[in-house]
Amino acid sequence: MDQITKKHKVAESVLDLIDNDEILGIGSGSTVNILIEYLPKVKNKISRVVSSSLKSTELLKANGFEVVDLKSVGKLSKYVDGADEINKYLQMIKGGGGALTREKILAHNSNRFICIVDDSKKVSVLGTFPLPIEVIPIAQSAVALEVIKMGGRPVLRENFTTDNGNIILDVHNFMISEPLKLEKKINNIPGVVTNGIFALNHADMLLSASDDGVNLSEPIV
């Protein structure tokens, strides 16, 4: 089964988890884009939809959904998103598409965070995928120097601005053995909006597609 087929399989499997009157949060990325194409099949079950990015919002609207702000719903019943890497504790690196801050906000404000991936995203240790950090532009050099002190190699994401008007530093050379500790440490650097480690807001459920089909797992405690 190729990667695209796996993405379709795992995206379609989400439909079985949508309940009546769902207040649904939608993330960003290639697998989520596929999910959005399937969502009209269960549109009658979805009362409201909140989106993590302008791109996802456009795609949702193109598929017949009205997208509302988080402040108008208060709490999401479920939030569905992908990951760039995910470990057995369902801690992730996210932000390859640059929407990490809004994704983290929605993940925090949901009753259940469901992560959907193909099995290539499952890792034993986070960090092979460069860690994105959203930074207020004036702090670029200062944040980069702090990250270098931690052993990382920050690279400015060229010709890219987040939906919040900020820049992204992609940090290479991190092997993240303590995701929760590093997430907090980076977020304490002045000028950092947030970083792409989702350990404080790890997934509650993982749907992963492999050659054997779609597997469901929960965090190992």
DSSP labels, 138-200: GGHHHHHHHHHHTT-EEEE-TT---TTS-EEEEEES--BS-HHHHHHHHHTSTTEEEESEEST
What's the rounded mean pLDDT across residues 3-28?
97
Q: How many domains does the chain have?
A: 2
The answer on pLDDT for 49 being more than 90 is yes
Marked catalytic residue, from 103, 134, 146, 183: 103
Quick one: 22 and 118 in the same domain?
Answer: yes
Residue 110 confidence class, pLDDT cut points 50, 70, 90: very high
- Residue % of the chain over a pLDDT of 70: 100
The answer on pLDDT for 1 being more than 90 is no
Quick one: 33 and 105 in the same domain?
Answer: yes
Q: In sequence order, what are the residues at sequence separation of 6 or more whose Cβ sits closer than 8 angstroms to the Cβ of residue 161?
A: 167
Q: Check residue 209 and give its pLDDT.
A: 97
Strand-by-strand arrangement of the 78-81 sheet: 46-51, 22-26, 78-81, 113-118, 205-210, 213-217
The pTM (predicted TM-score) of the whole model is 0.95
SS3 49: strand
Convert the pLDDT of each residue in 208-218 to its tens digit.
Answer: 999 999 999 99
Q: Which residue has the tokens 């940090």?
A: 171
Catalytic site includes residue 58 = no
Quick one: 207 and 177 in the same domain?
Answer: no
Give the CA radius of gyration of the chain: 17
Distance, CA of 102 to CA of 200 (rounded, Å): 15
The answer on pLDDT for 89 being more than 80 is yes
- Residue 175's nearest CA partner among 82, 83, 85, 99 is 85
The answer on pLDDT for 134 being more than 90 is yes
- Residue-number span of the structural domain to which 187 is assigned: 131-193
Quick one: 66 and 104 in the same domain?
Answer: yes
The answer on pLDDT for 221 being more than 80 is no
Quick one: 147 and 94 in the same domain?
Answer: no
Quick one: 82 and 28 in the same domain?
Answer: yes
What's the rounded mean pLDDT across residues 134-161?
98
Q: Yes or no: say if 7 and 118 are a contact pair by the CB < 8 Å rule.
A: yes
What's the rounded mean pLDDT across residues 76-97?
97
∠ CA(107), CA(138), CA(154), 5° rounding? 65
Quick one: 39 and 101 in the same domain?
Answer: yes
Q: Check residue 200 and give its pLDDT.
A: 96
Quick one: 169 and 209 in the same domain?
Answer: no
